[in-house]
Amino acid sequence: MHIPDGYLGPYTYGGLWAAMVPIWIFTAQKVKRGLETARIPLVAMASVFSLVAMVFAIPIPGGTTGHLNGSTLVAILLGPWPALLAISVALGIQAVAFGEGGITALGANCFNIAFIGSLTGYGCYRLLTASRIPRAICGGIAAYLSLNLSGLFTALELGVQPLLHQTSSSYFPYSLKVAIPAVMIPHLTLLGFMEATLTFLVLVILLKSQPGGWTSLKKTSFFIFLGTLLLFIPISVFGHDFWIEKKGNELFLVFGHGSKREEFDLSKVKQVKAFDLNGKEISINKEKRGPALLLKTDQPPSLIFAEIDNGYWSKTIYGWKNLPKRKATRVVESNRSLFYSKSLLRWSEAVTKPQTDQGLEVLPLANPFEFKTGALLPIKVLYQGKPLSGVDVEGGDHQKIATTDKEGIANLTITKEGHQLISVSIKEPLKNDLDADYLMITSTLTFEVTK
């Protein structure tokens, strides 16, 4: 539903900016006079809730996107004017920080989603609650109508561009006959029902769990915003890594996060090396096994090292795509992703030596197989053969566990027995690559603690 820059001509976006400025001024004054100080944090939480809900855009025909926005739910819980303000802030953050929507089109997006969405949703809800219809059902109906009205205004603004700018093809090129069905069919059939279901379920939970009535509902809206926000965060937002893990007597190169394993293109694996206790390279065979790559050696290795080129990734308004910047659409940012993965199996002085002069690497400075739970393991991080200071060291769940000092050294606490996964990442700007803005490099080190 967000309208990007360049889709609306100056008559439309200028007029909607002119309309929204006095609306924002009026809203700010009304909220300042009428909102209790204790409820101000709820407005901030509502803004975050709406921001996350709108991040997950679904592409639809006609040159725009559809998504949930939560405007009716926020308006029911906080009132229409705080909702208008909170959602306008969310839209502003999306436009400036994430490139979703446009700066020139911000007035139009706020008019459609924040103003139309909040006020019509709240108005419909109040009208419906005057009857004997249960409040949760009223909220669901109001959310459905509100989202579709927002979509209709979006379609109208896009569809009138050929009429307003007949001598220019620079703006949205499709007429109302195309724009209205393209936007409204997905909203009427799918997105509206999703918005209605979300609003209905949240209100059911609140009204049933709060015997204190409507006052209690408003007081606990913070927890509803927080809980619903967590439902919107998918597993995919967490970082995924390559690492080498041991299962029984077998070793696997895997890709995933935590206990989740995912398929990956084997051609991305550029090299895998195995070394004995003297640091001498030994032969290694690779075999596809499920979503992982089985690694076999003729003799017991002390260290296995893998280099993976994970290719180009572009963050678009539709999510991350495994595409270079020039082949993706509506790109927010893009990067080239490289991984270095190392598994320590037996201790020797050879394992403390770097395997690459150009890559990112984590080196153990002491034998981790002699460590017990609670001990501090010193490690050193190198990049292009030099110590890397001030980089965060993360554990298997991407929680920060240490930061390297000026010598590139960090001391890690062994918190549990069994499989250990340590990772570090760096991000550097790319100047001469048209397909990526950044170079993203991640290095992982794995080993087992048995004491």
Digit-coded pLDDT (tens) for 344-355: 999 988 888 888
Cβ atoms 64, 55 nearer than 8 A: no
Instruction: List Cβ neighbours of 169 (8 Å cut-off, separation of 6 or more).
Output: none
C-alpha–C-alpha distance, residues 329 and 57, integer Å: 13
- pLDDT surpassing 90 at residue 418: no
Task: Note the pLDDT of residue 156.
Answer: 94
- pLDDT surpassing 80 at residue 62: no
State the DSSP H helix or E strand holding residue 207, giving kind and residue range, or none if neither.
helix 192-209
- pLDDT surpassing 70 at residue 118: yes
- pLDDT surpassing 50 at residue 213: no
Task: Note the pLDDT of residue 317.
Answer: 59
Task: Note the pLDDT of residue 232.
Answer: 45
Band of pLDDT at residue 7, cut at 50, 70 and 90: confident
% of the chain exceeding 70 in pLDDT: 86
Task: Note the pLDDT of residue 141.
Answer: 94
Cβ atoms 364, 346 nearer than 8 A: no
Q: How far apart are the first and last CA of the chain?
A: 56
CATH 1.10.1760.20 residue ranges for the chain: 10-233
Record the tokens describing residue 268, joined without a space. 């991305």
Q: Enter the pTM of the model.
A: 0.54
Cβ atoms 272, 304 nearer than 8 A: yes
Phi and psi at residue 277, to the nearest 5°: -65, -25
Task: Note the pLDDT of residue 58.
Answer: 63
Task: Note the pLDDT of residue 210.
Answer: 53
- pLDDT surpassing 80 at residue 75: yes
- pLDDT surpassing 60 at residue 237: no
Task: Note the pLDDT of residue 254.
Answer: 92
Q: Return the higher-pLDDT residue of 316 and 272.
A: 272
C-alpha–C-alpha distance, residues 402 and 352, integer Å: 20
Task: Note the pLDDT of residue 34.
Answer: 76
Biggest CA–CA distance in the chain, Å, is 83
Q: Confirm or reject CATH 1.10.1760.20 for domain 10-233, answering yes or no.
A: yes
Task: Note the pLDDT of residue 1.
Answer: 63
Band of pLDDT at residue 67, cut at 50, 70 and 90: confident
Closest by CA to 124, choosing from 153, 91, 150, 158, is 150
Q: What is the mean pLDDT of residues 191-206?
A: 85
- pLDDT surpassing 50 at residue 234: no
Band of pLDDT at residue 168, cut at 50, 70 and 90: low
Chain mean pLDDT for the chain: 84
Q: Return the higher-pLDDT residue of 225 and 236.
A: 225
Question: Residues 361-410: pLDDT tens digits?
Answer: 999 999 999 888 889 999 999 998 899 999 999 987 778 899 999 999 99
Q: Return the higher-pLDDT residue of 201 and 26.
A: 26
Across 12-26, 131-145, 202-216, 315-329, least confident range: 202-216
Question: Residues 29-50: pLDDT tens digits?
Answer: 988 887 766 567 777 777 777 7
In terms of DSSP bridges, do strands 331-344 and 438-449 run parallel, antiparallel, or are they unpaired?
A: parallel
Q: Return the higher-pLDDT residue of 429 and 94.
A: 429
Q: Return the higher-pLDDT residue of 178 and 295.
A: 295
CB half-sphere exposure, 214, CA atoms < 13 A: 8
